[in-house]
Amino acid sequence: MYLFLMRFIVKKWNKIYNMWVRKGKNMSKKYVYLFNEGNASMRNLLGGKGAGLAEMTNLGLPVPGGFTVTTEACLRYYEDNETLHPDIQKEIFDTLEKFEKSVGKKLGDPNNPLLLSVRSGARVSMPGMMDTVLNLGINDEIVQSLIKLTGNEKFAYDSYRRFIQMYSDVVINLPKSSFERIIDEMKENRGVKLDNELTAEDLKELVAKFKAYYKEAKREDFPTDPKKQLLTAAEAVFRSWNNPRAIYYRQMNEIPHEWGTAVNVQMMVFGNMGNDCATGVAFSRNPSTGENKIYGEFLINAQGEDVVAGVRTPMNMSQLKDVMPDVYAQFIDTAKKLEKHYKNMQDMEFTIEKNKLYMLQTRNGKRTAQAALQVACDMYDEGLVTKEEALMQIEPKQLDNLLHPTFDAKLLKSTKPLATALPASPGAACGQVVFTAESAVEWKNKGHKVVLVRLETSPEDIEGMHVAEGVLTVRGGMTSHAAVVARGMGTCCVAGCGDIAMHEDKKYFTLHGETIKEGDYISLDGSTGNIYLGQIATVPATISGNFERIMTWSNEFKKLGVRTNADTPRDAKQAKDFGAEGIGLCRTEHMFFDADRIKSMREMIVAKTVEQREKALAKLLPMQRSDFEGLFKAMEGAPVTIRYLDPPLHEFLPTEEKDIIAIAKELNITTDELKEVIASLHEFNPMMGHRGCRLAVSYPEIAVMQTKAVIEAAINVTKECGYNIVPEIMIPLVGELKELEYVKKIVVSTADELIKNSGLNMKYKVGTMIELPRACVNADEIAKEAEFFSFGTNDLTQMTFGFSRDDAGKFLKDYYDKKIYLNDPFQRFDQEGTGKLVEIAVNKGKTTRPDIKLGVCGEHGGDPSSIDFFHRTGLSYVSCSPFRVPIARLAAAQAAIRNK
């Protein structure tokens, strides 16, 4: 009993203590900043918009005054179960009072009313995702003051009705459509088409109708207290941080849910007070082409939402010169000032109130890839930015768009997609539908362009995927077999179109009511995931001079090498053209799926004795050797890392009854014998089965054959072309030193013998993939034998998380929805978990072999944020698919600049 009492007291005391600490902590925080108290460096606290407004204020630009409620207040709001703490409320009103004094207007003061805009603003721009309330502070009394002060009744009621509409939508969640219906009725009644054709009287009546509707829906009057309006609007903005489209946007753009949004409260200026007023948005340069010329639109006598709504056709910015030449000149000047200040192209919002320019927002402008390159090069040439700054302006992933053919944008405008699925591999594809890899090859050989449509693809489909313009799958995500292989090939792919009903056997599928048969044309847009019926013309990719210039600059700064994953001379050549410094991963098994080779491969698999197996391998040797000769020639002496056979052998065997019968016949064994082999190779978890170097341990003769192929090819090409070739032999899936020792011994004895006989003084390296957690924690041991490491981050991610790429798709969606994971760890490297194992491996590996070469192969090698991590972790190079090489080069340069 005594103990119980003690526990109770301790617990209570802890609670009180915690409350006290927390109160203390929060009380010392400043939650509200006047614009002139902030600056651009306070983006995390004030949000992008708030920091921008503060910075512009400090620069002396014409910014309507106001203040920002911080992102920390937003977090606190959620911490306090979605209530705004009284302390924060007080701070808002205290700041408001200071502000009111400075401008000489007052919220809710009929004599001199202050009207406010209340807008969201997160650390990074999330355009249109969160909420805004304009004209806040109006009520029946204030509207009369406005009329009196401006003498403009129409303006006053227009502002009032806009406020009621926005407030009801954003704060109260009343359906927008209800208000629009009321307006439409009114316009019909009056026989007018545009909102601004309504008279002051009409608008006054509209206000009354809106308020009546509000009362009916909410069973209370529209709030007349401007202070209450302000608080509820601020809360609504905080809440909008977690509306579904904002959450979705963050997932798409890898923005942490923990950041929160700020609220910007700003004095209203009015573009709708008459014909000496206007509102608009403009870029300091052309965001499509990058041309150094103001680009944007404005509307006379309007508020911001009208520009967006697109009811009236806005005017081009160049026309502002004619309409308001002074304001235009001031705007141009302001834009230049901002560009110079931010060292980047600006995207600005402005309002002109009675011929006076006000800046409402500035931010770095989004732009096309082509424009990004143009702007970066121009700004450097203009002396506005250094090379480093120019490079940092460009979003590496965007370069992808410059590397694939695209649909003619004009044609797309007039074509509705039949469906949209996952944009798995960019590019534009147009061709006739086929349903099997074999048909793809057949049709292609007859001169047709084909699009391969499959439930899902498997390694057996490689050849078909190679000849197809594009690939469409029913199942599978962004990292499914189809997606990964297609990206590797640079082939367009749209994946996971679950709405397709497949009738492969009858050679047709249905999708959203349409039936598409073999031979019908479809078009795929791999950048949007759109699927179109029929043919759409494409335009080839153009790589302008800017592109090369940026790549050259990248090479000046980057520390990481950039290699490519390539299995064929074609891919290797392509990657080399894109600047790859070597091959980081050649997957030898892809070479075995060709129709004329898979037979020998299968003979090897069904072999019952070492002799039979060696006989089959002997048939594969010349083929594999000639593959490597092709690669060595394509790479002209640059390093080539060759990974030995990796997948479980059952991947090479058929699964369908009819194929089994055919192949058994071909292999000259009975169907039962073949079935027995297939059954004996069946695995419960093939990802964790008999694969990687485990194959070489069980069947050393495979490693012998592969070593012969690599070394003989290197010898032949050295003799023929005189390159200094140093083949890098990579043993996959090693988890234990002795395992590597065993395989390396086989490699070395085979290789040394061949080299000795060749009379050359050829060097070669034997290294390993680090793709198992056990290899990471034992990297010091493994480095005793491994002359290099290459992190196989795909498998390492799978083993570290304990989920397989093929299966995780099913539940990862729940994880995103519940905000447990933000990103697909197979696309963006998991620095917090898997990264720790990589760090352990790097440190341990260097302990044993300080100069060990450390690479990354796998999808992450082409992902910019992952590349930043690999740079920081001290790796030597990344390796990625050919079409990602330019991205990786720029990302590597940015990583070096960012972490200098």
Which residue ranges make up the site for its own copies (CB under 8 A)? 4, 683-690, 694, 697-698, 733, 735-736, 738-739, 742, 761, 771-774, 777-778, 795, 798-804, 806-808, 810-811, 814-815, 818-821, 830, 832-834, 836-837, 840
Q: Which is nearer to its own copies, 556 or 807 (CB)?
A: 807
Question: Does the active-site annotation cover 693?
Answer: no
Q: Which is nearer to its own copies, 27 or 679 (CB)?
A: 679
Angle between helix axes 71-79 and 226-240 (nearest 10 degrees) is 80
Query: Which bin fits 128, alpha (ψ -120 to 50), beta or left (φ > 0)?
Result: left
Task: List all residues 6 or more positions away from 549 whose beta carbon is below 8 Å from its beta carbon.
Answer: 373, 377
Q: Which is nearer to its own copies, 338 or 799 (CB)?
A: 799
Taking the complex as a whole, how short is the minimal distance between the CB of residue 866 and its own copies, in angstroms?
16
Q: Which is nearer to its own copies, 838 or 893 (CB)?
A: 838
Taking the complex as a whole, how short is the minimal distance between the CB of residue 807 and its own copies, in angstroms?
4
Q: Which is nearer to its own copies, 93 or 801 (CB)?
A: 801
The b-or-e profile of 682-695 (16+ CB within 10 A means b, else e) is: eeeebeebebbbbb
Q: Which is nearer to its own copies, 548 or 817 (CB)?
A: 817
Taking the complex as a whole, how short is the minimal distance between the CB of residue 828 and its own copies, in angstroms?
15
Q: Which of 857, 860, 871, 880 is catalytic?
A: 857
Q: Token digits for 202?
A: 């009409």
Taking the complex as a whole, how short is the minimal distance between the CB of residue 689 and its own copies, in angstroms?
4
Taking the complex as a whole, how short is the minimal distance between the CB of residue 684 and its own copies, in angstroms?
4
- Classified as helix, coil or strand, 366 is coil
Q: Which is nearer to its own copies, 279 or 834 (CB)?
A: 834
CB atoms within 10 A of CB 193: 9
Q: Which is nearer to its own copies, 438 or 736 (CB)?
A: 736
The b-or-e profile of 364-398 (16+ CB within 10 A means b, else e) is: bbebbbbbbbbbbbbbbeeebbebbebbbbbebbb
Please report, for residues 79, 107, 118, 225, 265, the alpha-carbon distance to residue 230 in angstroms, rounded to integers and kept in the order given: 21, 10, 8, 9, 9
Q: Alpha-carbon dihedral of residues 504, 510, 511, 515, nearest 10 degrees?
A: 120
Taking the complex as a whole, how short is the minimal distance between the CB of residue 835 and its own copies, in angstroms?
9
Q: Which is nearer to its own copies, 133 or 733 (CB)?
A: 733
Q: Which is nearer to its own copies, 73 or 808 (CB)?
A: 808
Taking the complex as a whole, how short is the minimal distance between the CB of residue 777 and its own copies, in angstroms?
4
Q: Judge contact between 696 and 731, C-beta under 8 A.
A: yes
Please report the sign of the dihedral spanned by the C-alpha atoms of residue 854, residue 855, residue 856, residue 862: positive
Q: Judge contact between 852 and 787, C-beta under 8 A.
A: yes
Taking the complex as a whole, how short is the minimal distance between the CB of residue 700 and its own copies, in angstroms?
9
Q: Which of 466, 481, 590, 871 is catalytic?
A: 481
Please report, for residues 655, 678, 685, 690, 841, the alpha-carbon distance to residue 648 in angstroms, rounded to integers and kept in the order given: 14, 11, 11, 6, 26
Taking the complex as a whole, how short is the minimal distance between the CB of residue 822 and its own copies, in angstroms?
10
Could you give phi then psi for residue 854, rounded to 5 degrees?
Answer: -125, 115
In a 10 Å sphere around its CB, with 0-12 CB exposed, 13-18 middle and 19+ buried, how is residue 567 labelled?
buried
Name the amino acid, one letter, at 632.
Answer: F
CA dist., res. 681 & res. 689, Å (int)? 10
- Classified as helix, coil or strand, 673 is helix
DSSP string, 830-876: -TTTHHHHHHHHHHHHHHH-TT-EEEEESGGGG-HHHHHHHHHTT-S
Beta-bridge partners for 853: 788
Q: Which is nearer to its own copies, 459 or 689 (CB)?
A: 689
Q: Token digits for 350?
A: 């402005």
Taking the complex as a whole, how short is the minimal distance between the CB of residue 797 and its own copies, in angstroms?
9
Q: Alpha-carbon dihedral of residues 205, 207, 208, 212, nearest 10 degrees?
A: 140
Q: Judge contact between 504 and 474, C-beta under 8 A.
A: no
Q: Which is nearer to its own copies, 629 or 771 (CB)?
A: 771
Beta-bridge partners for 531: 419, 524
Q: Token digits for 829?
A: 């490297």
**DSSP H stretches of helix in 382-436:** 387-393, 409-413
Taking the complex as a whole, how short is the minimal distance between the CB of residue 272 and its own copies, in angstroms?
46
State the DSSP code for 313.
P
CA dist., res. 328 & res. 317, Å (int)? 9
Question: Does the active-site annotation cover 74?
Answer: no
Q: Token digits for 78?
A: 């959620």
Taking the complex as a whole, how short is the minimal distance between the CB of residue 781 and its own copies, in angstroms?
8
Beta-bridge partners for 33: 68
Name the amino acid, one letter, at 752.
Answer: D
Taking the complex as a whole, how short is the minimal distance between the CB of residue 274 and its own copies, in angstroms?
54
Q: Token digits for 732?
A: 């996959």
Task: List all residues 6 or more positions away from 36 whose beta carbon is below 8 Å from its beta carbon.
Answer: 54, 57, 58
CA dist., res. 386 & res. 344, Å (int)? 11
Please report, for residues 378, 764, 854, the alpha-carbon distance to residue 788 in angstroms, rounded to integers and kept in the order given: 42, 11, 6
Q: Which is nearer to its own copies, 249 or 742 (CB)?
A: 742
Residues with a catalytic annotation lie at 481, 857
